[in-house]
């Protein structure tokens, strides 16, 4: 059984994950506007992954006998961004989510909720991957410094990303 404090914090995280999906969907739309189908694909894959994360929290709350309480999702603030700016915002956002996960870990330990602490370990590892993948694209964008040929190559690479929902379930 979840404590009221843990349950409330996990419900907040569902909102964070859905908000993340919303941000990535806006970034996909912005990439499409820029004529970058690979970037659009990368952000759409990220959108799907964030929804899967929200679902993971949702299911965990129910599995522990808790109550899911959904709240309003804030609209994303994406408008006329360059690819570099999109990935700078993406990295900053992933760092925010990492901070949220760490706070949840701290809370679960303070409440001696070993099951939730264990559940959150997957998200700690996931956030390391999320930040590294985003930083990798950001580093490439900085290297090409707006060069259309370099941007074209990065776009082609990002177009090959596929979200594997089964890897998000373990």
pLDDT on residue 22:
97
The answer to whether the beta carbons of residues 41 and 161 sit under 8 Å apart is yes
Which residues, in sequence order, are CB contacts of 58 under 8 Å at separation 6+? 14, 68
Give pTM, 2 decimals.
0.92
More confident: 145 or 66: 66
Q: How many domains does the chain divide into?
A: 1
Q: 167 pLDDT exceeds 70?
A: no
pLDDT on residue 163:
72
Q: How far apart are the C-alpha atoms of 161 and 9, rounded to whole Å?
A: 32
The full DSSP string for 110-166 is HTT-HHHHHHHHHHHHHHHHHHHHHHHHHHHHHHHTT-HHHHHHHHHHHTT----GG
* pLDDT band at 162; cut points 50, 70, 90: confident
End-to-end CA distance of the chain: 22
Find the domain containing 10 and state its range.
4-168
pLDDT in tens, 113-146: 999 999 999 999 999 999 999 999 999 999 999 7
Q: What is the CATH number of the domain that holds 82?
A: 1.20.1260.10
The answer to whether the beta carbons of residues 20 and 97 sit under 8 Å apart is yes
């Amino acid at each position: 059984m979840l404590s009221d404090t843990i349950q409330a914090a996990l419900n907040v995280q569902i909102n964070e994950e859905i908000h993340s999906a919303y941000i990535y969907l806006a970034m996909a739309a912005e990439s499409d506007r820029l004529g970058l189908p690979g970037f659009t694909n990368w952000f759409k894959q990220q959108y799907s992954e964030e929804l899967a994360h929200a679902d993971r929290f949702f299911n965990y709350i129910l599995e522990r006998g808790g109550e899911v309480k959904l709240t309003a999702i804030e609209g994303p603030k994406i408008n006329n961004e360059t690819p570099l700016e999109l990935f700078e915002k993406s990295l900053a956002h992933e760092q925010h989510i990492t901070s949220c996960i760490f706070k949840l870990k701290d809370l679960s330990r303070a409440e001696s909720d070993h099951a939730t602490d264990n559940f959150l370990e997957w998200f700690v590892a996931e956030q390391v991957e999320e930040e590294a993948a985003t930083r990798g694209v950001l580093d490439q964008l900085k290297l090409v410094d707006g060069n259309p040929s370099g941007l074209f190559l990065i776009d082609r690479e990002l177009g090959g990303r596929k979200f594997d929902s089964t890897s998000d379930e373990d």
